[in-house]
Chain A
């Protein structure tokens, strides 16, 4: 099969690494060759963060280049807008509609663009926007945004319920498992 590519983008501290780890586990168990690439260090201090998840028969490069992502899973609205060049024509953007102001906006040196969901939808892509923060809070914790978004991703990928639940159980602490599964379901059914 042709290599599949998901870019997970967001703001440092939002839990993107857990999402990629979960996805990596699931894909490995299904027998794919998998590469998951991330950058640690400075960018994690509230900066823009990117993780690449790739799977197929043989995956070579650990990174996704411009024009190659089948899907961008964005934890924050502006971050989805930042990486559209990485999307394949006709690709999918799943985006948490939450807005987190970057420092230049906070400091008044830049403006957070308006109506980004509409603008994204005008590109050659499929946009699926949801308020993952509210859904996560309803499920029990604002920190479960990552599981809400995983749930949303599950809608568009052909993996079984059992495979997802297995990967979730392996990726979150047992005491938060029930809440995280609830968040996953909320994302999938929203």
Chain B
């Protein structure tokens, strides 16, 4: 049946059709929907793991036990999973194992723009790179065949435009592969030096064998063009930009497997054209390979390493002209993302700002606490870096600076890799104050369950990790819970914990305002008679409040009635009619 599918959904469909029965992932834009869609198939066991390293190791375990397995993550997640990745290269697999990784050129929802293709070469693991949903589905199935034939995990590289574009796919039936059994095999699965030394040459041989496969596979194909003055090598979404911009003008070598790359096929292609051009986003990966083959090639001098490419960019750089529409001659204000109305993080950040604290931040919706008017965050690096960074910051400073510095981290991020940093705080005894922003969900990626929510990926009730007990268990004696909507209570809790000379954790607990089960009291009313136009309520950056003709006005379609603005108004102009 023909249907429109997101690239991510198509990967999930491919996994399903190929008989995958185990999926373990950590959510991360733009990869999240692969796992969510896989979970909708009853025959597929799917779970959210606490982080990508755990997810990949779980998927390896399932592969060893004999089930085709899968694990998805965003590009920075692969950094977390890099440790198992490099040694899985040596062990190989039993049943097929695919690792999905989604890059985010243009940084639509990421903290960096790293190019995951380097991991394939560095870990010596083959990588397939689909350019649309139909290929995403087909490549997922092909990846399992490769994985089992060549005894290797296979990386499946997605990007924002392939993951989050819907295109036409033709679905097929699920075919279960023959059940494999686990057999003890120390030389294959125990990577201690004696065995690993024997494995490494096999890994190199495998790459040679896969290079030979790359020469003959149809997913690395030459598409003929009319004009041989230029020939283009490309892959992924860039292939689509090239075809859109230039049609069949120039011959194109379209690579479906980005590592290892063919040699003869590329040399032959180069010999058939006057000028060899590589069109690829981010780093010069294909281009460098061509240079290593001794070819003269044009790449990054035309196409930037920064951000996304597009059909217009391809057209302009390869000699075509582009006509754009007319911009409006007007200052158009930016519309950056903001914390939602009723977001429990907002009031907590307001208190941190009021206390003029140095705040080491982390990855999640609450990173938005960094922007105006809250401006309450000093650093954001990677998952967990707030807690571990705070320890170093406090150790390197004096007592006074310890009393002015905190870390903020979400519930899911804390479980992902904040807890190890907290263990370091307890073990090496820094006078650190960590605030866990517990909104009872993984928010930024679109409401995924996590180990602290009490529900699993399929939505069934499950063991709930108790954050208070966890913090106590790792050696933190002072653990307390506050309601972020109560700003006075938050302020005293933070001041008290900063004052004591031992590590402490404050759990700022209130569920995300967008969760369906959260009941809101209804919008706040503003009283124009009482409003003095002092703008105190504007300091929290709530999208539901604006000033009209010098008076605070509440947007009733947005306001959920959290009451935080009410606490800021000294004149009683904001509140509920007749009180709560």
Bound form: Cα–Cα A88–B323 in Å: 8
Check if A105 sits within 8 Å of B108, measured CB to CB.
Answer: no
Check if B160 sits within 8 Å of A39, measured CB to CB.
Answer: yes
| Nearest CB on A from B410, distance (A) | 14
Interface residues of B, dominant DSSP: loop
| Nearest CB on B from A11, distance (A) | 7
Instruction: List residues of A (59-100) whose CB comes within 8 Å of B's CBs.
Output: 59-63, 65-67, 69, 78-79, 81-82, 84-89, 91
**Contact pattern, A 6-22, Cβ under 8 Å of B = 1, otherwise 0:** 00000111000000010
Whether A111 touches B337, Cβ cut-off 8 Å, given contacts A28-B4, A65-B311, is no
Binding site for A on B (CB under 8 A): 2-4, 29-30, 32-33, 108-109, 132, 160-162, 164-168, 237, 240-241, 243-245, 310-312, 322-328, 330-340, 365, 368, 371-373, 444-446, 535, 538, 541, 543, 545-547, 557
The answer to whether the Cβ of A1 comes within 8 Å of any Cβ in the partner chain is no
Most buried by B among A40, A69, A105, A142: A40
Check if A106 sits within 8 Å of B557, measured CB to CB.
Answer: no
| Nearest CB on A from B343, distance (A) | 9
Q: Which residue of A lies closest to B542 (CB)?
A: A106
Bound form: Cα–Cα A106–B338 in Å: 12
Check if A45 sits within 8 Å of B340, measured CB to CB.
Answer: yes
Check if B323 sits within 8 Å of A89, measured CB to CB.
Answer: yes
Check if A62 sits within 8 Å of B161, measured CB to CB.
Answer: yes
Q: Which residue of B lies closest to A33 (CB)?
A: B168
The answer to whether the Cβ of A179 comes within 8 Å of any Cβ in the partner chain is no
Q: List 22 A-B contacts (CB under 8 A).
A: A11-B335, A34-B167, A39-B108, A41-B30, A48-B335, A60-B240, A60-B241, A61-B244, A62-B167, A63-B310, A65-B311, A65-B322, A66-B312, A67-B312, A67-B323, A81-B328, A88-B325, A103-B335, A103-B371, A106-B545, A106-B546, A119-B330
Check if B333 sits within 8 Å of A34, measured CB to CB.
Answer: no
Q: Which residue of A lies closest to B29 (CB)?
A: A41
CB-based closest 6 A-B pairs: A41-B109, A41-B29, A62-B165, A47-B337, A66-B324, A110-B333
Check if B339 sits within 8 Å of A45, measured CB to CB.
Answer: yes
Check if A12 sits within 8 Å of B372, measured CB to CB.
Answer: no
Check if B164 sits within 8 Å of A67, measured CB to CB.
Answer: no
Check if A60 sits within 8 Å of B333, measured CB to CB.
Answer: no
Whether A124 touches B326, Cβ cut-off 8 Å, given contacts A102-B336, A106-B538, is yes
| Nearest CB on A from B332, distance (A) | 5
**Among B168, B444, B546, B557, contact of A142 (Cβ-Cβ < 8 Å):** B557
Bound form: Cα–Cα A126–B21 in Å: 53
| Nearest CB on A from B6, distance (A) | 9
The answer to whether the Cβ of A182 comes within 8 Å of any Cβ in the partner chain is no
| Nearest CB on B from A99, distance (A) | 11
| Nearest CB on B from A95, distance (A) | 12
Check if B538 sits within 8 Å of A108, measured CB to CB.
Answer: yes
Check if A46 sits within 8 Å of B543, measured CB to CB.
Answer: yes
Bound form: Cα–Cα A109–B115 in Å: 36
Count how many pairs of residues, one from A and one from B, have CB atoms less than 8 Å apart in the complex: 195
The answer to whether the Cβ of A35 comes within 8 Å of any Cβ in the partner chain is yes
Chain A residues contacting B557 (CB-CB under 8 Å) are 142
**Among A42, A63, A87, contact of B337 (Cβ-Cβ < 8 Å):** A42
Chain B residues contacting A60 (CB-CB under 8 Å) are 240-241, 243-244, 311
Chain B residues contacting A124 (CB-CB under 8 Å) are 326
Chain A residues contacting B167 (CB-CB under 8 Å) are 33-36, 59, 62
Check if A107 sits within 8 Å of B240, measured CB to CB.
Answer: no
| Nearest CB on A from B441, distance (A) | 14
Check if A67 sits within 8 Å of B324, measured CB to CB.
Answer: yes
| Nearest CB on A from B305, distance (A) | 19
| Nearest CB on A from B528, distance (A) | 18
Chain B residues contacting A187 (CB-CB under 8 Å) are none
Q: Which residue of A lies closest to B322 (CB)?
A: A67
| Nearest CB on A from B349, distance (A) | 14
Check if A36 sits within 8 Å of B30, measured CB to CB.
Answer: no
Check if B164 sits within 8 Å of A84, measured CB to CB.
Answer: no
Check if B372 sits within 8 Å of A109, measured CB to CB.
Answer: yes
Chain A residues contacting B30 (CB-CB under 8 Å) are 39-41
Chain A residues contacting B373 (CB-CB under 8 Å) are 107
**Among A40, A84, A89, A104, contact of B334 (Cβ-Cβ < 8 Å):** A104
Check if A79 sits within 8 Å of B340, measured CB to CB.
Answer: no
Chain B residues contacting A38 (CB-CB under 8 Å) are 164-165
Chain A residues contacting B243 (CB-CB under 8 Å) are 60-61
**Among A39, A61, A104, contact of B311 (Cβ-Cβ < 8 Å):** A61
Bound form: Cα–Cα A102–B372 in Å: 12
Chain A residues contacting B244 (CB-CB under 8 Å) are 60-61
Check if A79 sits within 8 Å of B335, measured CB to CB.
Answer: yes
| Nearest CB on B from A10, distance (A) | 10
Check if B168 sits within 8 Å of A34, measured CB to CB.
Answer: yes
Chain B residues contacting A105 (CB-CB under 8 Å) are 333, 546
Q: Which residue of A lies closest to B106 (CB)?
A: A39
The answer to whether the Cβ of A37 comes within 8 Å of any Cβ in the partner chain is yes
Chain A residues contacting B543 (CB-CB under 8 Å) are 46, 101, 103, 106
**Contact pattern, A 130-146, Cβ under 8 Å of B = 1, otherwise 0:** 00000000000010000
Chain A residues contacting B446 (CB-CB under 8 Å) are 40-41, 44
Whether A46 touches B160, Cβ cut-off 8 Å, given contacts A65-B311, A67-B325, is no
Chain A residues contacting B3 (CB-CB under 8 Å) are 28
Given known contacts A25-B4, A37-B164, what 6 new A-B pairs fall within 8 Å (CB)? A39-B164, A40-B164, A61-B244, A63-B165, A107-B373, A124-B326
